[in-house]
Structure 1
């Protein structure tokens, strides 16, 4: 057995992974990846080496306050020579002097949200590798949210600008799902009631999360008002989900005011931020 890997630092390869996963959220300090798709991390070593077929390296990915394999919030898998992209897995994709690069794939049905990665070395030492945010993947055929239409993916998931229709009027709107802080705000919103009574593991279900986000926005973010709005913002004056979500995050109270199309627009931002198509 080779000496235990003495990890000096871990590079989450943000630039490469964000390009491959189309997750340019303007927050380079955090890794954002989509489920069911391989991402890479690089372990820079002070000493030790990994010998495939001889050494046992085990990766653990956890999400939530009480992660459990039973509800899918904890995954334990070994580094091997192949990856089954239908489940969590990892392989050593590159070994150079002092650097071990791992390719990791999440299950295409995994819960979304903040994960922490750990490395176990034959029971000798556990190393925290880092944290990442996992999102739905409409580009992955194994993900239930798969959308086989590049034009719709561009419009519904990637485009940050669009139109909101009010009766027969088309109003320009900034959805801003990739603007700095918006993903974190949306995940914070989910954290108020993390998948409700079904628990954190339920965030793997896009139908449930869509309904949950809609309810949370109505309950916690926007105050609906069809009468006098003089003590707040007239709903007709809003042009961006970003301003509404940032104000909610800063003030920690209902934003005054919204009407049906404003609720719909903010919900579209939350959905597309998570990697879903609101269309």
Structure 2
């Protein structure tokens, strides 16, 4: 039944596992047996009248109203800027792992000795909410000083009582599934025998949104520096660099992660676009990998259609966009891909989605960026014996600039080894990864070390910033390649992002690689090539060695079938 119930055995007699209906159980309305095909729990009207006769004090508590304390909770959770919170009928936006307050008013005063109150949280959109998946959470209300509070599950503490109202402090776990949640309130008398028991359920009209929490140390997206959080989570505008390595041009981008329908659109992308398992929405690594897929459109009808043709009929030129808000609002309204985008547009939208969901993120520009189609860590150019290029083989390319993203998180799937921190993701559809156009998250620390086999897509991203340009003589499929020339210091220049707290450029080239032509940089390249299984990488390793001269002297006469000695 899940950790939150197993550690609260004293409440099992009060709320039976199969008695989840809010309607009093009668012979004509019995709970369905376990395993039956129930897609939605039955719910009565939100206002339930107590049974006729008897004193109100002897009857089950009836919920009259509920106050979600939206403004107070938003201030404590750093979510006051969200449009959902600012609306005339606001909804809570909460960060997982932080406590939030709920005030409930009953038809009479609450008595903790005879009244049992339980909150039931269910993830919206879950077809069959279960405790095991974390899509349903059942938590009884206990006094703040109770010794039966679970240490690793959701908690609901009674912190204040006044007349007919109680104030609860609810704490979600730091690894809860992000998205939109519903919740109900179950009430019952503790003294009632099973055959006489009656549970009333009040369905709370308004849902709430639960997002990642960079302020919570137990959340894997925790970011300790408050200035970094202000820049990479709360800042709604930034700079994205374009141009070429000798002419860097910034453009202002409005991320607008708190604007109308943006958070709703981001949750829709997680639940309705692509193939992200519902449990995967708790893991920021799986979430950002999914985001890098659904921001583009080729295989899942995601947000943006890429277009590099110069003909932008039927849509808008990529250079006409100044921010992500209009793109995401249009997609959320029509549920169709928006036309058109190029790399900086994909990156800007990706930053917006990550920040809206609570994941620290930034856009990064790489000048002279390699596109390694062979997965060889080299940009390969092939020539015939006459020195003419062989165009059918020359499919690698170098972009003047390319923009991707970094998202901040720990990587428990890679630890130990210090792979946490910035993770590179790329929403521009270049190459397929595991059958979809997506890229990352790849640990930036792993990229700098040349550990190209680390998940995800570290090899591709390493090549983008540190590939060697290699020139080959090709004489046919049955002949070995011959290395003609190489250039090792032209790929990956002036990696740029917006500086913290100001509209200036910060150069982060050193976070991705060692200084070009240094011993450390060459050793890293060799290490990466040795890990790579591509045939071109093998040829490059073998040919990229100094020639060895030697003398060969025969010491014995040669007799067929007998050994002989030589001196080398």
Question: What TM-score does the superposition give when structure 1 sets the normalisation length?
Answer: 0.93
Cα distance in 1 for partners of 2:252, 2:294 equals 24
User: Which range moved further: 106-115 or 223-232?
Assistant: 223-232
**Which structure has the higher relative contact order (CA within 8 Å, separation 6+)?**
1
1:174 — aligned with what?
Answer: 254
- Deviation, structure 1 residue 243: 0.8
1:125 — aligned with what?
Answer: 200
Match of 1:183 among 232, 245, 263: 263
Cα distance in 1 for partners of 2:253, 2:320 equals 11
1:222 — aligned with what?
Answer: 304
Cα distance in 1 for partners of 2:83, 2:228 equals 23
Does 1:115 find its partner at 2:115? Answer: no
Does 1:98 find its partner at 2:164? Answer: yes
Q: How does 1:1-279 map to 2 (within 5 A)?
A: 3-24=59-80, 25-28=82-85, 29-51=90-112, 54-63=114-123, 64-82=126-144, 86-122=152-188, 124-129=199-204, 130-167=206-243, 168-193=248-273, 196=275, 198=277, 200-219=278-297, 220-227=302-309, 228-279=311-362
2:462 — aligned with what?
Answer: none
- Deviation readout 1:152-196 (Å, 9 max, x if unpaired): 1001110101111224221101000111211111112222147x2
User: Which range moved further: 78-87 or 34-43?
Assistant: 78-87
Cα distance in 1 for partners of 2:223, 2:359 equals 9
- Deviation, structure 1 residue 110: 0.5
In structure 2, list runs of 5 or more residues that go unmatched: 1-56, 189-197, 363-568
- Structure 1 residues 176 and 258, CA, compared in 2 at 3 Å: closer, same or farther? same
Cα distance in 2 for partners of 1:243, 1:78 equals 43
- Deviation, structure 1 residue 239: 0.5
Which structure carries more helix by proportion? 1
1:115–1:133 contact (8 Å) kept in structure 2: yes
SS of equivalent to 2:93: strand
- Structure 1 residues 193 and 235, CA, compared in 2 at 3 Å: closer, same or farther? closer
2:92–2:209 contact (8 Å) kept in structure 1: yes
Cα distance in 2 for partners of 1:262, 1:66 equals 37
Q: Which has the larger radius of gyration?
A: 2
Q: RMSD across aligned C-alpha pairs, in angstroms? A: 1.8
1:4–1:48 contact (8 Å) kept in structure 2: no
User: Which range moved further: 261-270 or 241-250?
Assistant: 241-250
2:73–2:100 contact (8 Å) kept in structure 1: yes
- Deviation readout 1:117-140 (Å, 9 max, x if unpaired): 122223521222342110000000
1:86–1:142 contact (8 Å) kept in structure 2: no
In structure 1, list runs of 5 or more residues that go unmatched: none
